[in-house]
């Protein structure tokens, strides 16, 4: 081919990633999604959530205010709710990202233009993540005003920390949703997959802790408990705990990771975790994979791995 016919980036192999292409797809997807009622519904929802929680804290927690712990309580409450709600919203936002376009045929518009399928997938992930992040940010920012008035000032660092970690958490779930959406041409199947993810992390994973303990009590297979000593009311007592790998598995849940990263970023101690970990349980120091910084890696894992699988697979199918 003569040089003059080669446009920017277009001489690259068809399955390559072109940042400008990704950008164009992301921009279009964002423009499209930002005009949907879903986006505005989400922003209003986050705003209401924060204001309602603040109202409740301000109303019932006057003594807390006196102790200056109100932001702690607010972040604690809100994170309990966002931990459950953000995945739902990300799954709903990402559900049709690719499957919907394949089902309706609009993906033919995208792929008639010089985009690789990888560009489309990444553009979609970025576009949808941007929509989720913007609606979170809008909701949090508007609510900040109300929160400040009701509580008479608050800890900006904790509040921004909550927002930031919530965005990272939301992107992880968006990646799961967009990746699953790319595996099928049917929005019905994609919807079922979203429901499957919901059940996996809300029901299955949340009961793992209990299930492991039950299995361990009956000494099934390799579910041996480990004994350790701790001080309880001034006395040395011996307590049983699950093996380390069990805690690792429990902590793979993005929701659990969200909680741990929040405790890392904010100094709020009211956040409840599925598996309370104590250095004493492990003879003084937590294994690295149970430390809070590792939870950030778990969120990164849930962002990168689903989309990586989808990038590989989506390149190889008939539309």
Partner 1 sequence: MPAITVDGLTKSYGQTLALDDLSFEVGDGEVFGFLGPNGAGKSTTINVLLDFVRPTAGRVEVLGLDAQTHSREIRARTGVLPEGYRTYDRLTARQHLEFAIDSKGVDADPERLLERVGIADAIDKKAGGYSKGMAQRLMLAMALVGEPDLLILDEPSTGLDPNGAREMREIVREENERGATVFFSSHIMEQVESVCDRVGILRDGEMVAVDSVAGLRESVSDGTVLRVTVDRLDDEAIRSVRSLPDVSEATVENEAPPTLVIRVDGSKTDVLSALERQGLEVRDFSTSEASLDDVFRSYTTEVNAR
> Where do contacts with partner 1 occur on this chain (CB under 8 A)?
1, 5-14, 16, 18, 20-21, 24-25, 27-28, 31-32, 35-36, 104-106, 108-109, 111-116, 316, 318-319
- What residues contact 36, with CB distance under 8 A and at least 6 apart? none
Minimum Å gap between C-beta 319 and partner 1 is: 4
Name the residue nearer to partner 1 (CB basis): 117 or 260: 117
* Nearer to partner 1 (CB atom), residue 14 or residue 210: 14
Q: Which is nearer to partner 1, 21 or 266 (CB)?
A: 21
- In sign, the C-alpha dihedral spanning 225, 214, 296, 144 is negative
Least spacing, CB of residue 107 vs partner 1, in Å: 9
Query: At its nearest, how many Å lie between partner 1 and the CB of residue 80?
Result: 34
Q: What is the smallest separation between the CB atom of 137 and partner 1, expressed in angstroms?
A: 21
Structure tokens at 267: 């100094």
- CA–CA distances in Å: residue 207 to residues 31, 220, 249, 261: 40, 17, 12, 21
Contact 170, 86 (CB under 8 A): yes
Write down the least CB distance from residue 46 to partner 1, Å.
Answer: 21
Q: In terms of CB distance, is 25 or 58 closer to partner 1?
A: 25
| R_g of the chain, CA atoms, integer Å | 23
Q: Quote the CA–CA distance of 131 and 213 in Å, as a whole number.
A: 40
**Nearer to partner 1 (CB atom), residue 105 or residue 234:** 105
Q: Is 106 helix (H, G, I), strand (E, B) or coil?
A: coil
């Amino acid at each position: 081919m003569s040089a003059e016919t080669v446009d920017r980036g277009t001489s690259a192999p068809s399955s390559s990633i072109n940042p400008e292409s990704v950008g164009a797809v992301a921009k279009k997807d964002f423009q499209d999604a930002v005009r949907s009622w879903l986006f505005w519904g989400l922003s209003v929802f986050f705003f209401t959530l924060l204001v309602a929680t603040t109202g409740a804290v301000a109303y019932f927690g006057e003594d807390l205010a006196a102790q200056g712990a109100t932001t702690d309580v607010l972040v604690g409450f809100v994170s309990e709710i966002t931990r459950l709600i953000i995945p739902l919203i990300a799954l709903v936002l990402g559900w049709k990202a690719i499957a919907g376009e394949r089902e309706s045929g609009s993906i033919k518009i995208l792929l008639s233009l010089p985009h690789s399928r990888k560009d489309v997938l990444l553009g979609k992930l970025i576009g949808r993540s941007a929509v989720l992040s913007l609606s979170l940010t809008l909701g949090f920012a508007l609510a900040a005003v109300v929160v400040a008035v009701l509580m008479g000032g608050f800890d900006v660092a904790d509040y921004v920390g909550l927002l930031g970690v919530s965005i990272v958490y939301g992107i992880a779930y968006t990646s799961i949703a967009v990746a699953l959406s790319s595996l099928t041409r049917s929005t019905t199947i994609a919807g079922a997959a979203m429901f499957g993810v919901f059940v996996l992390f809300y029901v299955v994973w949340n009961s793992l802790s209990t299930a492991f303990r039950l299995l361990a009590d009956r000494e099934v297979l390799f579910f041996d408990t480990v004994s350790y000593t701790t001080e309880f009311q001034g006395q040395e007592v011996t307590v049983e705990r699950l093996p380390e790998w069990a805690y690792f598995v429990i902590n793979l849940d993005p929701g659990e990771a969200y909680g741990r990263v929040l405790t890392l970023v904010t100094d709020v101690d009211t956040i409840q975790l599925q598996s309370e970990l104590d250095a004493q349980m492990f003879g003084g120091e937590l294994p690295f994979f149970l430390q809070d910084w590792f939870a950030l890696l778990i969120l990164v894992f849930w962002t990168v791995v689903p989309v990586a699988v989808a990038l590989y697979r989506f390149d190889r199918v008939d539309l």
